[in-house]
Amino acid sequence: MRIFILGADGFIGSHLIEKILETTDWPVVAFDLNDGNLKRLESARAFAMKKGDLFGEDAWIEEQVAASDVVLPLAGIAKPAYYLSHPLWTFELDFEQNLKVVRFCVKHGKRVIFPSTSEVYGLTADEVLDEDESPLTVGAINKMRWIYSCGKQMMDRIITAYGQEEGLSYTIFRPFNWVGPRLDTWKDACERTARSVTQIIHDVLKKREVTLVEGGDQRRSFTWIGDGTDALVTLLRNEGNRADGQIFNVGNPDNNASIKELARTIVDVMREIPEYAPHAEEVRFVSIPAEEYYRNGYDDMRNRVPSIAKMKRLMNWTPKVGLRETVKKTLESLNLSGWA
């Protein structure tokens, strides 16, 4: 099975390629603007990497789609701070460029595995989010945070429509707060645009106050990246074609915690690491309004808990790594030299 992955050097892509090369003999062709996370894999037998711009390499991209069995268009913006500051760029990349790739898959009869997002559920009142039943409810137009969610939701709908009308072979997966090394850069954290895990670790090590937006009462279901990539390899294998035409939540409902609880777990684990214990002892938490932290246009959901019943039933996948172990594995995997 030949696999073509766009946005390959990012968080999910780089971890997925490592997992594929470690556990299968599938050849992988990777495409991204950068190759920093994948540079060390360039000599791998079944791996090829091309650096390039998704906006300007249409002919080459179409050639790779035509030559592959499965395509994963993983390129995208997935940071709330960025949705607010660059909403049009978020839409152009996450929707328009990915739609282009999906249309190549339709044209050449190739299977696509598309990354949706838990954000498509938006402000739904459902306590547990079901892929096939939960309504997708987003906020007002002036809350620019939802442009990402709306773009992903439209991609989900268009892919499903192509499956119905054109016979596109597809699987859609919705990651729920996957975390681990390479989630964000330290530069992101310095600029306060990183996501929660990276931002909290950075702020503790730099002796900044740890900021809890709106007190950190928002709850998420955090998922170890290794559990996530195990799920993706299972979807790629697609035994019995059970993933065909399906949408799957991929998350860990047992790891549901508030951002405040996550922050305290990170600090507790850091206290167990001698190099970082002094920093953890000095930590200070501060609550800040969302409007002040993100500026106008931000909106949020109070909780996100995935139903993973379909992944268990159809794909025999269950996450294994608990929240504390997820935090510990993330800390142990980070290159923190020079930041303490």
User: Integer distance in angstroms from the first to the last C-alpha of the chain?
Assistant: 44
**Quick one: pLDDT at residue 340?**
46
Q: How many CA atoms lie within 13 A of 174 on its CB side?
A: 27
**Beta-carbon contacts of residue 90 (< 8 Å; ≥ 6 apart):** 77, 82, 83, 147, 148, 151
**Quick one: pLDDT at residue 335?**
63
In this structure, whether the domain defined by 3-180+222-254+304-321 belongs to CATH 3.40.50.720 is answered with yes
Is 162 within 8 Å of 172 (Cβ atoms)? no
Separation of alpha carbons 100 and 35, rounded Å:
22
| Interior angle at CA 34, CA 105 and CA 16, nearest 5 | 60
| Interior angle at CA 174, CA 138 and CA 63, nearest 5 | 110
Separation of alpha carbons 237 and 216, rounded Å:
39
Q: Are strands 219-221 and 256-258 parallel, antiparallel or unpaired?
A: antiparallel
**Beta-carbon contacts of residue 173 (< 8 Å; ≥ 6 apart):** 113, 114, 115, 116, 231, 232, 235, 247, 248, 249, 250
DSSP structure class, residue 73:
E
The CA-atom distances, in angstroms, between 75 and each of 10, 25, 198, 300 are 8, 24, 20, 24
Separation of alpha carbons 171 and 73, rounded Å:
12
| pLDDT tens for the chain, residues 1 to 340 | 999 999 999 999 999 999 999 999 999 999 999 999 999 998 998 999 999 999 999 999 999 999 999 999 999 987 778 888 899 999 999 999 999 999 999 999 999 999 999 999 999 999 999 999 999 999 999 998 899 999 999 999 999 999 999 999 999 999 999 999 998 887 888 877 788 898 999 899 887 789 898 899 999 999 999 999 999 999 999 999 999 999 999 999 999 999 999 999 999 999 998 888 888 888 889 998 877 877 767 788 999 999 999 999 999 999 999 999 999 999 888 765 445 4
**Quick one: pLDDT at residue 338?**
46
pTM of the model: 0.95
